[in-house]
Amino acid sequence: MMIFFSMFMYMCGLVVFSMKRKHLLLMLLSLEFIIISLYFSLFIILSFYSSENYFSMIFLTMSVCEGVLGLSILVSMLRMFGNDYFQSFNMLW
C-alpha cells in the first residue's frame, strides 16, 4: 500500500515538473518532491527487507547536494537577470 502511495507521489512530481517547465523555482520544488518520494520508497523497501539504512543516508546526502546546486543556480540567475523565468533571457547572448 505504501509503495503505491510513493508511486503516486512520484507521478504527481513528474506531472508538476512537466507542466511548470518555464519557472525554475517550481521545477526545483517538484524535483525535490520526486526525490522525497524516491527516498520514501527506498526507506520502505529497505525496512521491509530489514536491511541497514546506511544506503538511505547516502541517498539523502546526495539529494541535499542536488538541492543546494539547484538553489545556487537559482540565486545566480536572480542576481544576473532579476527573475527565474526561462523566457526572459537568451542563453546564446
pLDDT > 80? residue 81 = no
pLDDT at 87: 65
Write the pLDDT tens digit of every residue in 8-62. Answer: 999 999 999 999 877 888 888 999 999 999 999 988 888 888 777 788 889 889 9
This prediction has a pTM of 0.81
d(CA 51, CA 40) in angstroms, rounded, equals 15
Q: What are phi and psi of 48, to 5 degrees?
A: -70, -40
Whether 33 and 12 have beta carbons less than 8 Å apart is answered as: yes
Give the domains, in start order, of the chain with CATH numbers.
2-88 (1.10.287.3510)
